[in-house]
Amino acid sequence: MHMVHSMRKLCPNLDKEDGLETVLEVPIPEEMFNKMGSNAALRWRTMRNLMKAQRAIDRSANHPAATSGNDHFMLLLKLVGSAFIPYQVQTDHAVTLPVKDGSIEASTAKYIVQQYLAATGGLALINAVNSMYAVGQVKMVVASDVDQNSPQNAKRSCEAGGFVLWQKNPDLWYLELVVSGCKISAGSDGKIGWSQSSSNTSASKGPPRPLRRFFQGLDPRSTANLFLNAVCIGEKPIKNEDCFILKLETTSDILKAQSTTNTEIVHHTMWGYFSQRTGLLIQFEDTKLIRMKAAKDGESVFYETSMESVLDDYRYVEGINIAHSGKSSATLYRYGKTLSRKWKLEETWKIEEVDFNICGLSVEYFLPPADVRKEQENEEQTI
């Protein structure tokens, strides 16, 4: 899938002709901008509305995603574009490699993680990172009503967009993702994880969890900490690279802690494929099953999500080896209430900028939306 390279970072001042241009919070590809209207003025007005996070996106503009299927697109965008890993990786703790005896599979996994750390920059350099910033662009292809017998008949749409991601130790992070007029914000302030979309003013919240994108070649420390508890289950060639396979099952106590009043995480399994030649992470996979708790006497609805991310274009940034592009393929299957449906989504991404140890990045930058903060304060007062 071809990725455009030009990204738009400034928006003209539409209120004052001689006013200064506004820097976009989320740079967007030219391809996405060109789809926002039939002329330049309309495109910029749509962009301004998007910057203000207005719920109503101008339906007269040519937004393939802003149709009656918008809710489904937003669901996929949240599940894939801002997916969580239900595992509390302690990024404030330096990576340590335990030497206590364990099973051969567990000991092998720790050795593979040790090789991965060496390949991504070394323990000392990785442990010295206290914050990071990344800007990237994405292209998403969505197929809905997927039938295994005739996948070619699935409805398809292609959307372009961009994202900005910030992270600060211990476990603070913030993501803004804009795709074809739809905006997702998500983050963690260390106490709570949350996500919010431009189609819904109220934010959803849960326990603090790391963002899946960190494990797509952006954060070697979180990746190493995650797979230190894995087991090696074999080998497999990926993109002509012989890889070791590390597998991690989320424990029942973490599943329970990270479920909510309305949802139950039934299982979540992760796999990492590490090159035997370079030591680098080549592919990251996870699959999870979530049960939406039904009202009394109602039937539960299940969502099964499988995601596979292939990482590419590793390059050094300040001595740390980061994957600068890749492709994720996701399948979402909903069943229950005698209703089943299947979606597939492919996301191709490219990292445009990445930097470490950002000066002046304060805790305030990672605060959740006002309604979530208010709920949080009320809960703390009742304890």
Lowest mean pLDDT of 72-76, 217-221, 286-290, 333-337, name the range: 72-76
311 and 339 share a domain? yes
Domain boundary among 71, 93, 120: 71
Domain count, the chain: 2
One-letter amino acid for residue 133 of the chain? Y
- Answer yes or no: is pLDDT of 44 > 80: no
Domain boundary among 71, 98, 121: 71
Domain boundary among 28, 53, 71: 71
Query: Quick one: tokens of 184?
Result: 């997702």
Domain membership flag for residue 1: no
Highest mean pLDDT among 78-82, 121-125, 141-145: 121-125
Compute, in degrees rounded to 10, the torsion defined by CA atoms 122, 347, 9, 23. -80
pLDDT of residue 45: 58
Cα distances from 37 to residues 47, 54, 60, 69, 181, in angstroms, run: 10, 17, 8, 19, 11
Domain membership flag for residue 28: yes
Domain membership flag for residue 236: yes
With beta carbons less than 8 A apart as the criterion, state whether 170 and 91 touch: yes
60 and 112 share a domain? no
335 and 378 share a domain? yes
d(CA 270, CA 212): 11
More confident residue, 140 or 43: 140
Cβ neighbours of residue 10 closer than 8 Å, sequence gap 6 or more? 21, 22, 23, 24
What mean pLDDT is predicted for residues 191-201? 82
Domain membership flag for residue 188: yes
What is the pLDDT confidence band of residue 54, given thresholds at 50, 70 and 90?
very low
Domain membership flag for residue 353: yes
Domain membership flag for residue 2: no
How many angstroms from the chain centroid is the CA of residue 11? 26
One-letter amino acid for residue 378 of the chain? N
Q: Mean pLDDT for the chain? A: 81
Domain membership flag for residue 338: yes
pLDDT of residue 93: 57
Which among 218, 82, 80, 61 has a CA at the least distance from the CA of 141?
A: 80
358 and 259 share a domain? yes
264 and 317 share a domain? yes
Please give, one letter per residue, the 3-state secondary structure of the chain: CCCCCCEEEEECCCCCCCCCCEEEEEEEEHHHHHCCCCCHHHHHHHHHHHHCCCCCCCCCCCCCCCCCCHHHHHHHHHHHHCCECCCCCCCCCCCCCCCCCCCHHHHHHHHHHHHHHHHCCCHHHHHCCCEEEEEEEEEEEEEECCCCCCHHHCEEEEEEEEEEEEEECCCEEEEEEEECCEEEEEEEECCCEEEEECCEEEEEEECCCCEHHHHCCCCHHHHHHHHCCCEEEEEEEECCEEEEEEEEECCHHHHHHCCCCCEEEEEEEEEEEEECCCCCEEEEEEEEEEEECCCCCCCCEEEEEEEEEEEEEEEEECCEEEEEEEEEEEEEEEECCCCCEEEEEEEEEEEEEEEECCCCCCHHHHCCCHHHHHHHHHHHHHC
55 and 140 share a domain? no
pLDDT of residue 309: 97
- Answer yes or no: is pLDDT of 12 > 90: no
47 and 147 share a domain? no
Which among 204, 230, 237 has a CA at the least distance from the CA of 215?
A: 230
One-letter amino acid for residue 301 of the chain? V
184 and 303 share a domain? yes
Domain that holds residue 241: 75-382
How many angstroms from the chain centroid is the CA of residue 129? 20
Domain membership flag for residue 142: yes
188 and 210 share a domain? yes
Query: What does residue 250 show for φ and ψ, rounded to 5 degrees?
Result: -70, 130
Pairing of strands 155-168, 281-292: unpaired
44 and 176 share a domain? no
User: What's the pLDDT tens digit per position in 283-303?
Assistant: 999 999 999 887 777 788 999
263 and 318 share a domain? yes
User: What's the pLDDT tens digit per position in 325-345?
Assistant: 999 999 999 888 767 888 899
pLDDT of residue 313: 97
285 and 326 share a domain? yes
